[in-house]
């Protein structure tokens, strides 16, 4: 049951990469190391935990200093990207690759049957302590199609995704071929993060955007909309 005066925590958290300001998130405090690590992965600064030389929290403010290998920074700076305003809560702005820049790959795998997917979402909703208290927060989880492996909640759906991807990177668990469950719509930014992680599919009770579909098509990733309904919308990449 929702509290009569339910509110959701939201705080700014900043990140510097190799001494330069990189991003400020508006986010729910908690799993902040995972948030920073997942964002670095999604932006291309790291592929594995070994690329992250150091991640140090600020002792007096909500923020982090990250040190990554210089060659990784050069790769990010050399990408053909433009800075855009994100479509959801979270970072004030983010790098988003144009769909033609997304690597075209073969299909990565299939989501489980609809009844299994609905059962996984039931687990996701049951784990949502903040959602059950306030009704005003997003959740995300990685899955091997049998269980939920990592779970996070955040006021921003992109932040929740960064947190679960970051948790897997920190745990040195493989991302390729896993599924991602999200409670909000699948935006282009979210699809790009999932594609970079090598995930097989992203599923949501909501719907994907047109640009998210384009990114998924190029990356060989399946998107599932209306995933908890009796007739989910399964968008498969072209053969």
Span 125-147, mean pLDDT? 89
Written out in words, the top-level CATH class of the domain with range 11-98 is alpha beta
> According to the model, what pLDDT value does residue 32 have?
98
Span 95-101, mean pLDDT? 55
User: What pLDDT, in 10s, does the model give residues 196-205?
Assistant: 999 999 999 9
Share of the chain above pLDDT 70, in %: 85
Span 172-179, mean pLDDT? 96
> According to the model, what pLDDT value does residue 7 have?
87
Fold match between domain 11-98 and domain 114-235: no
Q: Which of 52, 66, 68, 89 is catalytic?
A: 89
> According to the model, what pLDDT value does residue 238 have?
77
Domain boundaries, the chain: 11-98, 114-235
Closest-CA residue to 119 (of 148, 150, 98): 148
> According to the model, what pLDDT value does residue 133 have?
79
58 included as an active-site residue: no
> According to the model, what pLDDT value does residue 115 have?
98
What average pLDDT is seen over the chain? 89
Q: Is the confidence at residue 78, as pLDDT, over 50?
A: yes
If you write DSSP's letter for every residue of 55-102 in order, what string do you get?
Answer: EEE-SSSSEEEEEE-HHHHHHHHHS-EEEE--SSSSBSSEEEE-GGGS
Distance CA 51, CA 62 (A): 23
For domain 114-235, the CATH architecture is 3-Layer(aba) Sandwich (3.40)
User: What pLDDT, in 10s, does the model give residues 33-58?
Assistant: 999 999 999 999 999 999 999 999 99
What pTM was computed for the model?
Answer: 0.90
Closest-CA residue to 223 (of 94, 108, 138, 97): 108
Q: Is the confidence at residue 129, as pLDDT, over 90?
A: no
């Amino acid at each position: 049951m929702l509290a009569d005066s339910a509110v959701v925590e939201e705080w700014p958290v900043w990140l510097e990469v190799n001494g330069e300001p990189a991003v400020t998130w508006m986010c729910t405090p908690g799993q902040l190391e995972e948030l920073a690590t997942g964002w670095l992965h999604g932006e291309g600064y790291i592929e594995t935990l070994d690329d992250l030389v150091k991640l140090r929290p600020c002792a007096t403010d909500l923020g982090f200093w990250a040190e990554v290998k210089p060659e990784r920074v050069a790769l990010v700076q050399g990408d053909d990207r433009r800075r855009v305003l994100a479509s959801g809560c979270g970072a004030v702005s983010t790098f988003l690759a144009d769909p033609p820049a997304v690597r075209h790959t073969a299909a990565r795998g299939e989501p489980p049957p609809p009844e299994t997917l609905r059962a996984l979402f039931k687990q996701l909703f049951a784990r949502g302590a903040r959602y059950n208290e306030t009704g005003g927060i997003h959740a995300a989880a990685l899955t091997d199609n049998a269980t939920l492996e990592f779970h996070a909640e955040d006021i921003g759906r992109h932040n929740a995704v960064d947190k679960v991807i970051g948790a897997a990177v920190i745990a040195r668990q493989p991302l390729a071929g896993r599924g991602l469950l999200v409670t909000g719509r699948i935006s282009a930014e979210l699809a790009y993060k999932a594609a970079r992680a090598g995930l097989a599919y992203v599923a949501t009770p909501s719907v994907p955007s047109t640009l998210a579909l384009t990114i998924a098509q190029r990356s060989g990733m399946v998107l599932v909309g209306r995933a908890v309904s009796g007739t989910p919308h399964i968008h498969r990449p072209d053969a």
